[in-house]
Chains A and B, each alone.
Chain A
């Protein structure tokens, strides 16, 4: 007796979100990046339509990165002090198709750069680099509201992805995304109800659902990865069964989390049984990334070029 396969046919698909706008679309990017649109669980294309592959964004900072381990800094060579050079290196040397710029320099405890300074920087970057970009604030709500609005305006028409909006601070950022034609990141603290609530709040004030990407606040391998993993699986199943306010693509801050882990940073000298340190760091970031791909991630923000290369190959392998 032949076994009949059990295929899931869900009714709702994940929203399609496009980052970047070409000249014809009112921007100046040479290409755009689209994610979402899938009708089923990751890589199961035997039963689902999966029109777009997951995308990886290189994370770059406007100032010299704080607290990145030396091993990681070294792969970028001397360009880290100059964000424009850094961005160019990602595109030229590492084939980056998407960049994620973190405006850490705006933080009052760092260089406290003004909104004008950051907006000017974004303008320069957009002039020099032709790939779509994601812009992240520095984490200080008040400062971010001012800085991100200025940057949104400076990048008007480029259809960036800007973050992050949270339940208690979303109005200003969402309003400027509406005004200047950008997408927004809706960040929620590993909580499916808050995530949904925030999507409702954002659409209520007028940003359409296909311009929202959810950040579920992931944890690294060994540091609570399983919490966000399950939240994402639950959200996806809810979306496929018809909950349109859960049907946004996911963005996961992989590099930020993975490179905080002791396992990614410690030297082999300090932990001789853990094996070679460089490979360990790369696999820590890559394994964290792959776990979230399997939970449904659409955009991964990552740091180590080699980890990124390995995850790219993985995505290809799971697509043939």
Chain B
């Protein structure tokens, strides 16, 4: 946990010698607390105190960079237990497990299927992040499978194997790709650590309770291994939820460094619905990596959508630029629909307009990212606002019919809007899902 200015002051020499450039030690301490200066500006503090202060300024949950074949992403570095306290920062990495007993053709088709799991929602691309390869046979089969998979995909990789020779050979082949090596525990940590360091891979530590995990990470820290992920093992779902909660709490509230790492959960329930629901739980609650057995499109769509929801910033609703958007091959007779600039509303409307196959203009009014009803209640979606937007966007030059369609929920403003804008107002459906039939019949 971050130290306060006063906590830091207690650790300083308290001589007020001004060598740091500040009038007093207290003034300097306050600046460190604000992260405005670094400790090394004071030449008089002991190495022990320096180390203590530096440690206190580290993030409580270490950010770990995961490398793909053509980029990287961060997991961890979370700062809160509940998203309303600030936000969840680095979205849960979702991945799928492939075993090394698959034939070349089977691997190819699985990879192709996983690569196709790309969904566009609210203007964002949703994709999974990882492929995990599990050793079920001998070293050769495993390495062969790793090779095939790494050539076929750019996804970040996880090696589910504790066969040191197999892992070593795979790492040699994957140089520069920094996979996650899973299965490190008390027994094998000492032999894995040097290899992991040599190849700059990431270690997934396994333990069935907090003590075991903490013991192994402390050991690894002492050996200079930095990039660690914590796997809480195959416990019952309720137990896993408890352990994930404890890890997050202890790292954030008690500054337990040995647990201050991203987490990983493997979900392999045979019932694919339960598998999905359990994975959903760890997206909501404190999983940094979730690996699943199956990879059905509907499963991925649900989980990636949930991740997008939960990792959105509660302080800043997603907005789009307020302007007039042509959807499809529009012309001067195309219908004109008015909506807000809240991303969810806008993209839902556009999705339905596209589905209707009736080319239309969509006017997105600046409602500061509020949805139709909220914006209307907050007076951000009013006859004045809409009239102003129509003028500002030069809408009258785009169509010759001078008719606009407004959402059904704000039907009450029709009269005022007609008066103020001089446009004819038609009340559209309340729900976006009614748009296709509305547009088809209106046209």
- Given the interface pairs A6-B250, A222-B305, A226-B314, the reply to whether A273 lies near B297 with Cβ below 8 Å is yes
Alpha-carbon separation in the docked complex, A233 to B299 (Å)? 26
The reply to whether the CB of A76 lies closer than 8 angstroms to some CB of chain B is: no
Chain A residues near B210: list those with CB within 8 A: 3, 5
A3 to B256, Cβ gap below 8 A?
yes
The one of B82, B301, B308, B309 that contacts A275, using a Cβ cutoff of 8 Å = B301
Chain B residues near A222: list those with CB within 8 A: 121, 305, 308-309
The reply to whether the CB of B442 lies closer than 8 angstroms to some CB of chain A is: no
Alpha-carbon separation in the docked complex, A283 to B305 (Å)? 12
B249 to A226, Cβ gap below 8 A?
no
- Given the interface pairs A263-B305, A275-B296, A280-B301, the reply to whether A294 lies near B285 with Cβ below 8 Å is yes
Chain B residues near A287: list those with CB within 8 A: 276-277, 280, 302-303, 306
Alpha-carbon separation in the docked complex, A223 to B211 (Å)? 40
Chain A residues near B344: list those with CB within 8 A: 223-224
The reply to whether the CB of A45 lies closer than 8 angstroms to some CB of chain B is: yes
Which A residue sits closest to B269, measured CB to CB? A317
A283 to B302, Cβ gap below 8 A?
yes
Per the 8 Å Cβ criterion, residues 270-314 of A in contact with B are 270, 273-276, 279-280, 282-284, 286-287, 290-291, 294, 310-311, 313-314
Per the 8 Å Cβ criterion, residues 24-49 of B in contact with A are none
B296 to A226, Cβ gap below 8 A?
no
> What does the 1/0 interface line of B99-125 toward A look like (CB < 8 Å)?
000000000000000001111010000
Which of under 10, 10 to 19, 20 to 34, or 35 or more describes the interface residues of B? 35 or more
The reply to whether the CB of B238 lies closer than 8 angstroms to some CB of chain A is: yes
> What does the 1/0 interface line of A117-155 toward B look like (CB < 8 Å)?
000000000000000000000000000000000000000
Q: What's the nearest-Cβ distance from chain B to residue A4, in Å?
A: 8
A6 to B253, Cβ gap below 8 A?
yes
A317 to B238, Cβ gap below 8 A?
yes
Which B residue sits closest to A233, measured CB to CB? B82
The one of B238, B273, B433 that contacts A310, using a Cβ cutoff of 8 Å = B273
Chain B residues near A262: list those with CB within 8 A: 348, 351, 433
Which of under 10, 10 to 19, 20 to 34, or 35 or more describes the interface residues of A? 35 or more
Chain B residues near A72: list those with CB within 8 A: none
Alpha-carbon separation in the docked complex, A314 to B431 (Å)? 32
A273 to B236, Cβ gap below 8 A?
no
Q: Could you say which of B58-66, B161-169, B239-247, B324-332 contacts chain A? A: B239-247
Q: What's the nearest-Cβ distance from chain B to residue A108, in Å?
A: 16
B298 to A290, Cβ gap below 8 A?
no
Chain B residues near A263: list those with CB within 8 A: 301-302, 305
Q: What's the nearest-Cβ distance from chain B to residue A156, in Å?
A: 36
Chain A residues near B301: list those with CB within 8 A: 263, 274-275, 280
Q: What's the nearest-Cβ distance from chain A to residue B43, in Å?
A: 34
- Given the interface pairs A3-B256, A230-B83, A283-B299, the reply to whether A314 lies near B310 with Cβ below 8 Å is no
A260 to B431, Cβ gap below 8 A?
yes
Alpha-carbon separation in the docked complex, A262 to B309 (Å)? 16
B309 to A225, Cβ gap below 8 A?
yes
B297 to A275, Cβ gap below 8 A?
yes
Chain A residues near B284: list those with CB within 8 A: 229, 291, 294
Chain A residues near B299: list those with CB within 8 A: 275, 283
Q: What's the nearest-Cβ distance from chain A to residue B313, in Å?
A: 10
- Given the interface pairs A3-B259, A237-B82, A263-B301, the reply to whether A282 lies near B273 with Cβ below 8 Å is yes
Chain B residues near A9: list those with CB within 8 A: none
B84 to A230, Cβ gap below 8 A?
yes
B309 to A226, Cβ gap below 8 A?
yes
Q: What's the nearest-Cβ distance from chain B to residue A307, in Å?
A: 8
Chain A residues near B276: list those with CB within 8 A: 283, 286-287
A318 to B246, Cβ gap below 8 A?
no
A283 to B211, Cβ gap below 8 A?
no
Alpha-carbon separation in the docked complex, A41 to B305 (Å)? 24
Chain B residues near A46: list those with CB within 8 A: 242
The reply to whether the CB of A44 lies closer than 8 angstroms to some CB of chain B is: yes
A226 to B83, Cβ gap below 8 A?
yes
Alpha-carbon separation in the docked complex, A260 to B432 (Å)? 10
Chain A residues near B214: list those with CB within 8 A: 1, 3
Alpha-carbon separation in the docked complex, A179 to B121 (Å)? 49
Alpha-carbon separation in the docked complex, A246 to B433 (Å)? 35
The reply to whether the CB of B254 lies closer than 8 angstroms to some CB of chain A is: yes
Task: Beyond the given A265-B433, A274-B301, A317-B274, please list 13 additional residue pairs across the A-B interface where CB-CB is below 8 A.
Answer: A3-B210, A3-B211, A41-B245, A189-B373, A221-B302, A221-B305, A226-B309, A275-B298, A276-B296, A279-B273, A290-B280, A291-B280, A317-B236
Minimum-distance CB pairs A-B, first 4: A275-B297, A275-B298, A280-B298, A230-B84
Residues of B within 8 A of A (CB): 82-84, 116-119, 121, 210-211, 214, 236-238, 241-242, 245-246, 249-250, 253-254, 256, 258-259, 271-274, 276-278, 280-281, 284-285, 296-303, 305-306, 308-310, 312, 314, 344, 348, 351, 355, 371, 373, 431, 433
Task: Give me 7 A-to-B residue pairs in the complex whose CB atoms sit less than 8 angstroms apart, sorted by A's number.
Answer: A3-B211, A3-B258, A222-B308, A279-B273, A291-B284, A294-B281, A320-B238
